[in-house]
Amino acid sequence: MALIRLEPRGQASQAMLYLTPVLAVVLTLAAGFLLFAALGFDPVAALYAFFIEPLTTTRGLGELAVKATPLVLCAVGLAIGFRANVWNIGAEGQFTLGAIAGGGVALAFYGEGGWWLLPLMVVAGAAGGMAWAAIPAFLRTRFNASEILTSLMLTYVALLLLSLLVNGPYRDPDGYSFPESRLFEEAAVMPILIEGTRVHLGSLFALLAVAGGWVLMARTFVGFQIKVIGLTPMAAGYAGFDQKRIIWLTLLLSGGLAGLAGLCEVAGPIGQIMPSISPGYGFTAIIVAFLGRLHPVGILLAGLLMALSFIGGEAAQIGLGLPKAITGVFQGMLLFFLLATDVLIRYRLRFGTKGPVVKGVAAKGVAA
Amino acid sequence: MDRRTFGKTALGLAGAAAVTLGMGAGTALAQQKMKVGFVYVGPVSDFGWSYQHDQGRLAVEKALGDKVTTTFVENVPEGADAERVIDQLASTGHKMIFTTSFGYMNPTLKVAQRHPNVMFEHATGYKRSKNLATYAARFYEGRTVIGLIAGKMTKKNVIGYIGSVPIPEVVSGINAFTLALREVNPQAEVRVVWVNSWYDPGKEADAAKALIDQGVDIIVQHTDSAAPVQTAQERGIYVFGQASDMTRFGPKAHLTAIVDDWTFYYVDRVKAALDGTWKPIDTWGGIKSGMVGLAPYNTAIPGDVVAMAEKAKADIMAGTRHSFTGPIKDQSGKVMIPAGKHATDEQILKMDWFVEGVVGKLPK
């Protein structure tokens, strides 16, 4: 007779849906505490250096916003698609195309820029991401090809295209043949929002995307259609919802936001086009989307947390000489604990052997 | 492990509140010590590029440990993240910062302008300012020596070359290698595969396999992981390692390696910073200055070939051999460096064409 049993809930617990991410963070911190102790570091000092110290200065907070911006922009779009069972895994490629298209505008008008240049780059960036996402949308709606595969594979095409461009047409003519574009002129760089930090206009776009994503999902008929299609495609079919339209819409939306994120990186903190513009934001955004429970506000928080885990890793290595691999370990633990605690959404814990439930059901719950 | 013990004793006893105190005590202790920071593009355990820079850092600790403390950050992506890391080092009291990858050039320059009292050193770039020096090594000199060895060791006369990214440093290496190869073996040719990354063991191993399947019997790499060495060992062909002695990853396959030795340079520069004689100069050291060396030769290399390699090294040091001595033709047969002349530093630094004997095109 087990002392703790899992008992299926009739309905998924709303409270647990929001509590499990918090629980996962707490468990991660606890495991981190043990890990640091086992590595021979003072766990309190290490956790402080990792999670608190980066947030004690204005610059640190600014860096958090800078790092979270592309993650949130990509994740908000992806989550909307995921709600409709449209699995865009290729945000990294759409991000890259946004940088290529928007950054290309900056280079094309180099030296002739005016107030109009940055808005044009933003439009081009979003359009670039949309165009790249349109390919999986077309293949899915026309040939029923899985967008998971096509969008993922297009990522590698995008990265090679970027590499081709920075080694060719985009290359800085005065740059000793190094594969980098020239630095963008003043008119092509995102304005800084907070003096003394690197927080740029892109962070504002990310907040707008969060708000827009929430309005779309919670307050519009399209959002309702997306949710219905995701939950019960059959019912959506009977209701006459156009699934193809939703596939196009969600892919273009997530591609556009990823493209915008890419443009914001090259026109923001990087200021030029390089062979490597993203350390995998498009993929990390998938984790952020799920960590944030596919909810725009949750995504904002998850994006900040994920950004902190990157920045904290560096800060801890500079301050205490902790190995950088700790960052990956923390991100992995966070996901692991989130998935592990997710069982609480559908099952409730029962202590002791007594209980009103039929034992067979409880046993089945454990087995499942 | 000194750093770890220090962390434990200085910071270990107390809780979060005492952490700031502990750090204060640390700074007081180190008041006379200058903090020197290093930024690496790969992990220190890559046993290639970043590993060798870290050996330089350790040499600084060893030589000047009573006057300096060092910090490093590894795996820093070239892009938006680099500026944050460099700035973080500059604003946490580091007086001297080495940024060890080309992609850190513009971020380093930006941070250098914000921190005029910090001395910056950027590896392999070309932008300098009043507090930003640059340094690089003439790796191509080492490529000349291994090219001669390859020319004598190949049976099939086809060499595979794993290139990282087509920048002049890599292109000049391929050219120097090919010129030396064909000097002793005019039939030999070089096949280049680009992996578009400096450190990607998976891609590097794939590139090595693809080249071996095409029939090459020696592999040269200009990427930082030991994966090509391991692949060559498995498939029973020869390989030249990159950046550090990679013998342990393929004792039979590894003929020798071009070793980047930053130890003298780092110790000298930190000394200069301590003396107040530091200047934002450009340094381009080769075999003579000790910045470029060769790992111990494999016993499979016959004695006369070793003697030839050693002679080439000595000639380069003496200045009687230059890696790019004319006449040099490009792939189309056009004379790029006329007879009786050798390439200028400027020509080497901007090299964006392949010499005759290289198969494959440069991405343009």
pLDDT digits (tens, 9 = 90+) for A210-266: 999 999 999 999 999 999 999 988 888 898 899 999 999 999 999 999 999 999 999
Residue A215 CA from chain centroid, whole number: 19
Range with the poorest average pLDDT among A16-25, A62-71, A80-89, B276-285: A16-25
Residues B163 and B206 in one domain: yes
pLDDT at A363 over 70: no
- Residue B364 covered by a domain: no
Say what the pLDDT of residue B167 is. 86
**Mean pLDDT of chain A, nearest integer:** 90
Closest approach of B199 to chain A, Cα-based (Å) = 13
| Residue A253 near residue A220 (C-beta atoms within 8 A) | no
B236 and B166 in one domain?
yes
pLDDT given for residue B1 in this prediction: 35
Backbone angles phi, psi at A224, to 5 degrees: -65, -45
Same domain, B324 and B303: yes
pLDDT of the residue at A331: 87
How close A19 comes to chain B (CA, Å)?
26
Question: Which B positions 6-25 lie with beta carbon below 8 A of chain A?
Answer: 7-8, 11-16, 19, 22-23
Q: Does A232 touch chain B (CB under 8 A)?
A: no
Task: Please check whether residue A179 is in contact with residue A275, taking contact to mean a CB–CB distance below 8 angstroms.
Answer: yes
Enumerate the residues of chain B whose CB falls inside 8 A of the CB of residue A317.
71-74
Instruction: Tell me what the mean pLDDT of segment A87-102 comes to.
Output: 97
- In this predicted structure, what is the pLDDT of residue B13? 35
Cα B22 from Cα B25, distance rounded (Å): 5
Q: Which residues contact B92 (CB under 8 A, 6 or more apart)?
A: A318, A319, B35
How many structural domains comprise chain B?
A: 2
pLDDT score of B46: 79
What count of Cα atoms within 13 Å lies in the side-chain half-sphere of residue A92?
23
Instruction: Give the DSSP per-residue string, B132-186.
Output: EEEEEE-HHHHHHHHHHHHHHH-SSSEEEEEESS--HHHHHHHHHHHHHHHHH-T
* Record: contact A318-B43, CB cut-off 8 A: no
Query: Average pLDDT, stretch B8-13?
Result: 36
The reply to whether residue B7 touches residue A163, judged by beta carbons under 8 angstroms, is: no
Whether A354 has a pLDDT exceeding 70, the answer reads no
Alpha carbon of A156 to those of A93, A137, B261: distances in Å? 7, 17, 35
**Is residue B120 located within the same domain as residue B197?**
no
CB pairs under 8 A between A and B: 121
Chain A residue numbers with beta carbons less than 8 Å from the beta carbon of B71 are: 317-318, 321
Contact A80, A226 (CB under 8 A): yes
On whether any CB of chain A is under 8 Å from the CB of B361, the answer is: no
Partners of residue B196 in chain A, C-beta under 8 Å? 160, 163, 275
Q: Phi then psi for A296, rounded to 5 degrees? A: -50, -45
Instruction: Determine contact: A185 vs chain B, CB below 8 A.
Output: no
* Predicted pLDDT at A4: 81
Nearest to B83 among A269, A275, A278 (CB): A269
pLDDT tens across B13-46, in order? 333 333 333 344 444 444 579 999 999 998 898 7
Chain A CB within 8 Å of residue B346 CB:
no
Q: What is the pLDDT of residues B109-133, one digit of tens each?
A: 999 999 999 999 999 989 999 999 9
Rounded-to-integer distance, Cα B76 and Cα A324, Å: 9
Does residue B83 lie in a domain region?
yes
Question: How far is Cα A324 from Cα A316, in angstroms, rounded to an integer?
Answer: 8
pLDDT at A52: 92
Is B131 within a domain?
A: yes
Please tell me the distance from the alpha carbon of residue B15 to that of residue B217, in angstroms, as a whole number: 60
Residue B20: its pLDDT value, please? 39
Chain A, window 66-95: residues with a beta carbon less than 8 angstroms from a chain B beta carbon:
66-67
Which residue of chain B is at minimal alpha-carbon distance from A41? B8
H-type alpha helices, B12-138: 16-29, 49-64, 80-91, 105-114
Of the candidates A42, A167, A317, the beta carbon closest to that of B363 is on A167
| 3-class SS string, chain A | CCCEEEEECCCCCHHHHHHHHHHHHHHHHHHHHHHHHHHCCCHHHHHHHHHHHHHCCHHHHHHHHHHHHHHHHHHHHHHHHHHCCCCCCCHHHHHHHHHHHHHHHHHHCCCCCCCCHHHHHHHHHHHHHHHHHHHHHHHHHHHCCCHHHHHHHHHHHHHHHHHHHHCCCCCCCCCCCCCCCCCCCHHHCCCECCCCCCCEHHHHHHHHHHHHHHHHHHHCHHHHHHHHHHHCHHHHHHCCCCHHHHHHHHHHHHHHHHHHHHHHHHHHHHCCCCCCCCCCHHHHHHHHHHHCCCCHHHHHHHHHHHHHHHHHHHHHHHHHCCCCCHHHHHHHHHHHHHHHHCHHHHEEEEECCCCCCCHHHHHHHHHC
Closest listed residue to residue B257, CA positions, set B227, B296, B212: B296
Strand partners, B36: B70, B96
Q: Which of residues 162-181 of A touch B (CB under 8 A)?
A: 163-164, 167-168, 176-180
User: Beta partners for A43?
Assistant: none
Looking at the structure, tell me whether residues B7 and B154 fall in a common domain. no
Pick from A176, A198, A268: CB nearest B126: A176
CA distance A343 to A320: 36
For the record, the structure tokens of A255 come out as 């591609």
pLDDT value for B197: 84
Measured from the Cβ of residue B209, the count of other Cβ atoms closer than 10 Å reads 16
Residue A318 to residue B167, Cβ atoms within 8 A: no
Q: What is the mean pLDDT of residues B185-202?
A: 92
Nearest to B139 by CA among B52, B266, B226: B52
The distance of A207 to chain B (nearest Cα, Å) reads 20
Q: Which of residues 39-98 of B touch A (CB under 8 A)?
A: 43, 71-81, 83-85, 87-89, 91-92
Residues of B in contact with A314 (CB under 8 A): 73, 76, 84-85, 88
Give the range of the structural domain holding residue B77, as residue numbers without chain letter.
2-137+262-285
B72–A176 C-beta distance less than 8 A: no
pLDDT band at A342 (very low <50, low <70, confident <90, very high): confident
Provide, as residue numbers in chain A, all residues whose Cβ is less than 8 Å from the Cβ of B106.
183, 271-272
Residue B296 is classified by DSSP as: P
Name the residue with tokens 């193809």: A244
Q: Are residues B164 and B309 in the same domain?
A: yes
Are B78 and B188 found together in one domain?
no
Mean pLDDT of chain B: 89
Same domain assignment for residues B220 and B328: yes
Which of B270, B285, B300 is the last residue before a domain boundary?
A: B285
Output the pLDDT for position A355: 54
pLDDT digits (tens, 9 = 90+) for B64-101: 999 999 999 999 999 899 999 999 999 999 999 999 99
Taking CA–CA distances from A66, the nearest residue in chain B reads: B80
B313 in the same domain as B281: no
Q: What is the CATH number of the domain that holds B188?
A: 3.40.50.2300
Q: Is residue B297 part of a domain?
A: yes
Identify which of A189, A102, A176, A193 has the alpha carbon closest to the alpha carbon of residue B171.
A176
pLDDT of residue A201: 96
Q: Name every residue whose Cβ is closer than 8 Å to that of residue B171 and which is 6 or more positions away in sequence.
A: A177, B351, B352, B353, B354, B362
pLDDT digits (tens, 9 = 90+) for B194-243: 998 888 999 999 999 999 999 999 999 999 899 999 999 999 999 999 99
Residues B132 and B175 in one domain: no
Quick one: B278 and B324 in the same domain? no
Q: Where are the domains of chain A?
A: 65-292
Residue B318 has pLDDT above 50, yes or no: yes
Decide: helix, strand or coil at residue B227: helix
Digit-coded pLDDT (tens) for B229-281: 999 999 999 999 999 999 999 999 999 999 999 999 999 999 999 999 999 99
Say whether both B59 and B78 belong to one domain: yes
Position A12 scores a pLDDT of 80
Distance CA A220, CA B50 (A): 52
Q: Model confidence at A174, in pLDDT bands (50, 70, 90)?
A: confident
| Percent of residues, chain A, with pLDDT higher than 70 | 95
pLDDT at B107: 95
Distance CA A338, CA A19 (A): 10
**CA-CA distance, A313 to A50, in Å (whole number)?**
6
Task: Compare all CA atoms of chain B with the CA of A64 and give the residue at the minimum distance.
Answer: B84
Residues in B closer than 8 angstroms to A45, CB to CB, are 7, 11-12, 16, 19, 22
Q: What is the DSSP letter of B261?
A: -
> Token pair for residue B310?
């050693």
Contact B199, B48 (CB under 8 A): yes
Q: What pLDDT score does A356 carry?
A: 53
**Mean pLDDT along residues A309-325:** 88
Put simply, whether B327 touches A (Cβ < 8 Å) is no
pLDDT, one tens digit per residue, over A28-55 is 999 999 999 998 889 999 999 999 999 9
Q: Is A272 on the interface with B (CB under 8 A)?
A: yes
Q: How does pLDDT run across A113-169, given as a tens digit for each residue?
A: 899 999 999 999 999 999 999 999 999 999 999 999 999 999 999 999 999 999 889
Candidates A277, A320, A323; nearest CB to B7: A320
B34-39 β-sheet, strand order: B68-73, B34-39, B94-99, B119-123, B132-137, B282-285
* Closest residue in chain A to residue B22, using alpha carbons only: A45
